[in-house]
Structure 1
Amino acid sequence: MSDTPSPAEPAGPAAVLVTGATGLLGHAVVDRLLAAGSEVTALVRDRERARALLPDHPGLRLVTGDITEPGSYRAALRGTDAVIHTAAYFREYYGPGHDLRRLYRTNVGAVEDLLRAAVDAGVPTVVHTSSIAVLGGGDTRAPADEDTPNGAPGRGNHYRASKILAERVVSAFGERHGLRVPMVLPAWMWGPGDAGPTSAGRLFRAVAAGSVRALPAAGNHVVDARDVADACVAAAVRGAAGRRYIVGGRWHPLHEICAAVVRAAGTGTVPRRMPRGAAMPLAALLEWGARARGREPVATRTGMRALLDGHHRRVSSARARRELGVAFRPLEETVTDQAGWHREHRRSPGAGPARRETRNA
């Protein structure tokens, strides 16, 4: 099967509400739906920021609200054919001092609130965004698939724990109420539209600026957020209730990702490879240095630990390819388009600091 994205993707539902609409994935979902002719309602916290980031399109309506406050979006659910839920709190991966209560409220409690509100409003479908990080296994000999059991929600990585708990909420709720809730499990997302920025966007900027001298000899599954958006829209159309779809892209060594960034940005240098055993001390040093300068680090120890976990993990996207028609862009295209977006929005190195965000919302 070709990995070139096909224009023959299914049209989206007629009317869709997107949570986290200004985040990396949410932005891509909005674009994908508008291209399919859907009427899109974007749930946003900052209307002015959303106007600056999202397209000026007659099919797009902005609703100011917060995923943790159901009263702010209940009315917007009426007449909606589907919800694509991308909002999440992931500050743990790039900033010490994250709010754990807010993390679990956003990533777990708000999921159940959203499902309940959808049922009350007569919405038949909610697409839930999870993560391949929930999977409890998978390696080069036997890649993980959707039948691989989830790991235990340990507290060493609260984002991962919250996603595991959210999947439990989705499974239990769908069985009780008959709501169709397919789940999309993306890998490490890169691509244009990363205004937050996410951990990928922060690494992109740091490498392009030449401020990262060394990174561990590790790798991870990388996927273009636009390919994940294609999967989310296809899942809204024909994804099965309670069925999981891994959207894992391809596994790449970290030095290969960074080399692509340098080529695309035309700036920076490829960080040298260091032993994986030195990764955690490096992350601690990055945290300490950033704290001393009053900035947020390129990576935290939690984020570095997640990266190292991904070095050994391998996943199969066969189901998403087969049932949702998902295809994957090559890394070079993803990073080139990301560089172009950064330049267009003056977020390239030397264009000033990116605005700080705590949620993909």
Structure 2
Amino acid sequence: MSDTPPPADPVGAGSSGGPRSVLVTGATGLLGSAVVERLLADGAEVTAVVRNAARARDLLPDHPALRLVTGDVTDIPTYAGALRGMDAVIHTAAYFREYYQPGHDLELLHRTNVTAVEELLRAAVDASVPTVVHTSSIAVLSRGDVRSPGDEDTPNGAATQDNHYRASKIRAERVIRDFEDGLRARFGAEYGLRVPLVLPGWMWGPGDAGPTSAGRLFLAVAHGGIKALPTAGNHVVDARDVAAVCVAAAERGVAGRRYIAGGSWYPLHDICSEVVRATGTGAVPRRLPAHTAMALASVLEWQAKVRRKEPVATRTGMRVLLEGDRRRVSSARAVRELDIGFRPLEQTIADQAAWHRARRQLPAAEQGTRIA
């Protein structure tokens, strides 16, 4: 890191008043692609860090203000040169295969979700980038229920090994806090780097090319590949609304301040019902007690291992679903301070269905739907 802090100049503004030049990591992911589209719509010049340029050209808009940089988020030198001149970085890249892929790479998870965060912050300071928006998760919060929803002041839980993804996000937040404290100690209050944090709920919506756990569930329900799910629920949020929070945080988010983008809580049965209604295919999975669902996930993992395929569900993913049934959070700060709203579930699912159908990932729609 350089000995002199970068200038703390105001962020350059695009046509909407937001940052003018922005680098986006994880740009072909569900959230990253939504951030890219939001920035372009706002008149910003966007540099997208991608691992595969050909795939990125297929997934991202063909836009004169979009530049692709081939790089690896875990290898800063592959894209550090692109940081120079940026008004902001929106960091969406993350490793989350634990939720649907047993035998995942824990070393890669830590390198992507924790180590790369600190390295990016150091590179941003060296390149005089004034703002880095970090994407965390509502899963880091230690508590929050119907009677007392969690908010940005809710302390984080312990970084235990029952959920490696959550543990990595908790550690990443510590890295950011320690890094900011170190800069303040060296350079004083005006240390020239602002790092607001965005904590999304369970993201759904168009652009889920991965697909994420949400996209996998969407397609499994639409294709009739999953017959039962636990009686549970979770906070569902449209990735495009999370992108709006990220862009607004880049413009006016407070340094070190967290912004929850939780959307609304929905029963899993209602989510699957909307998938069936929007696609005209599949059938809503029947409800299972929690203990039965965990046993089923164990069987599915074992079958997938024998067949050398990825399972429809994993024990970790099922455990997260069951935890979401109890968790409640408030997005009031993002609504109040960043002027953000959230789409209704039916719009998100309908748009996601249209996106999958346009990419020929859904069978032809049948007449009528089967809502259980």
After TM superposition, the score normalised by the length of structure 2 is: 0.91
2:326 corresponds, among 288, 305, 312, to 312
Corresponding residue number in structure 1 for 2:8: none
Distance 1:100 1:240 in 2: 32
Question: Quick one: which amino acid aligns to residue 19 of structure 1?
Answer: T
Give the Cα separation in 2 of the matches to 1:149 and 1:198: 27
Uncovered stretches (5+) of structure 2, i.e. residues with no partner: 1-14, 184-190, 365-372
Equivalent residue runs for 1:191-206 within 5 Å: 191-206=205-220
Distance 1:28 1:261 in 2: 20
Change (3 A) 1:101 1:345: same
- Give 1:279 deviation, angstroms: 1.6
> 2:343 matched to which residue of 1?
329
Contact 1:10 1:237 in 2 (8 A): no
Residue 326 of structure 1: how far off its partner (Å): 1.1
1:209-266 CA distance string (max 9 Å, x none): 0111110000000000000000000000000000000010000000000000001111
Q: Which of the residues 30, 33, 37 maps onto 2:36?
A: 30
After superposition, what is the alpha-carbon deviation per residue over 1:297-337, rounded to whole angstroms, capped at 9, x for unaligned?
Answer: 12211111111111000000000000111100000000000
Distance of 1:126 and 1:40 partners within structure 2: 14
User: Which of 211, 217, 225 is equivalent to 2:231?
Assistant: 217
Structure 2 counterpart of 1:156: 162
- Rounded to whole Å, the distance in 1 between the matches of 2:286 and 2:91 is 38
> Contact 1:127–1:235 at 8 Å: present in 2 too?
yes
Task: Name the amino acid aligned to 1:276.
Answer: A
Residue correspondence of structure 1 range 48-59 to structure 2 within 5 A: 48-59=54-65
2:287 to 273, 276, 280: 273
Question: Structure 1: 5+ residue runs without aligned partners?
Answer: 1-8, 351-361
Cα separation, 1, equivalents of 2:213 and 2:352: 14
- Map of 1:202-281 to 2, 5 A cutoff? 202-281=216-295
> 1:10: Cα distance to partner?
5.1
Q: Decide whether the 8 Å contact of 2:76 with 2:123 is kept in 1.
A: yes
Moved over 6 A (4+): none
- Residue identity in the other structure for 2:209: A
Once residues 272 and 44 of structure 1 are traced to their aligned partners in structure 2, the CA distance between those partners, rounded to angstroms, is: 39
Deviation track 1:151-176 (CA, whole Å, cap 9, x = no partner) reads 00001100000000000011111232
**Higher relative contact order by CA 8 Å / sep ≥ 6: 1 or 2?**
1
Give the RMSD, CA atoms, in angstroms: 1.3
Aligned mates of 2:39, 2:313 — CA distance in 1: 32
Partners in 1 of 2:242 and 2:309 — Cα distance? Answer: 31
Whole-Å separation in 2 of the counterparts to 1:346 and 1:263: 18
Distance in 1 between residues matched to 2:66 and 2:231, nearest whole Å? 43
Matched, 1:136 2:142: yes
- Percent identity between the aligned chains? 72
Partners of 1:11 and 1:280 in 2: how far apart?
48
What is the aligned partner in structure 2 of residue 6 from structure 1? none
Question: Which structure has the greater CA radius of gyration?
Answer: 2
Partner of 1:355: none
- Structure 1 SS opposite 2:220: helix
State how far apart, in whole Å, the 2-side matches of 1:156 and 1:197 are. Answer: 23
What is residue 44 of structure 1 aligned with on the other side?
Answer: 50
Asked if 1 retains the 8 angstrom alpha-carbon contact of 2:202 and 2:235, the reply is yes
- Asked whether the equivalents of residues 131 and 250 of structure 2 are also in contact (C-alpha less than 8 Å), the reply is yes
Residue 349 of structure 1 and its aligned partner are, at CA, apart by 4.7
Number of equivalent positions: 343
The letter of the residue matching 1:299 is: A
1:127 aligns with 2:133: yes
Amino acid at match of 1:84: I
- The equivalent residue for 1:284 is 298
Partner Cα distance (1:10, 1:258) in 2: 36
Distance 2:102 2:159 in 1: 20
Q: Specify the SS of the correspondent of 2:299.
A: helix
